Amino acid sequence: MAGSLNKVQLIGRLGADPEIKQMVNGKNVARLSIATSQSWKDKNSGERKEKTEWHRIVIFNEGLVGVVQQYLKKGANVYIEGQLSTRKWKDESTGQDKYSTEVILQGYNSNLTMLDGRNKGENTNLVSENKSSLPDENLNQDKNDLDDEIPF
């Protein structure tokens, strides 16, 4: 259908560690649960209120699955861009049809960006450089030497 668009953009925090599973075809898939929150001030009471929505994210893109597996943990702040998909399944215990709506990341129309910074402390989800093998006195000297060798 021309003129239609199925695109979801979310910024939120992981509610649990990612779940990585292997599909029948041998490829990995990642499942995330992301919380987005909005807050407001109640007009009548002046009290601060908050509402949290939970979103199911399924990642089929192999490169993104690798990033998720290696870097993301519970509490990580992420930007997700994908498509909405509703799937139908049968509840084995009741025999009733059930529906799940998920944000799917696959192909070129998907994006995952880690928003946590390097200076955040222990909860950072970015790779940090391991400089513990360098003596402290040489660390500052090496930084200064690098500045002098820049060719432009």
Task: Note the pLDDT tens digit of each residue in 22-66.
Answer: 999 999 999 999 999 999 999 999 999 999 999 999 999 988 999
Q: Is residue 3 part of a domain?
A: no
Q: Is residue 68 part of a domain?
A: yes
The structural domain count of the chain equals 1
CATH of the domain at 76: 2.40.50.140
pLDDT of residue 1: 62
Q: Is residue 137 part of a domain?
A: yes
Do residues 114 and 70 lie in contact, with contact meaning Cβ atoms separated by under 8 Å?
Answer: no
Rounded CA separation 110/63 (Å): 11
Q: Is residue 2 part of a domain?
A: no
Which residue segment(s) compose the domain that 37 sits in? 8-148
Q: In the chain, what are the helix, strand and coil shares in percent, each to the nearest 5?
A: 20, 40, 40
pLDDT, greater one: 152 or 104 = 104
Q: Is residue 29 part of a domain?
A: yes
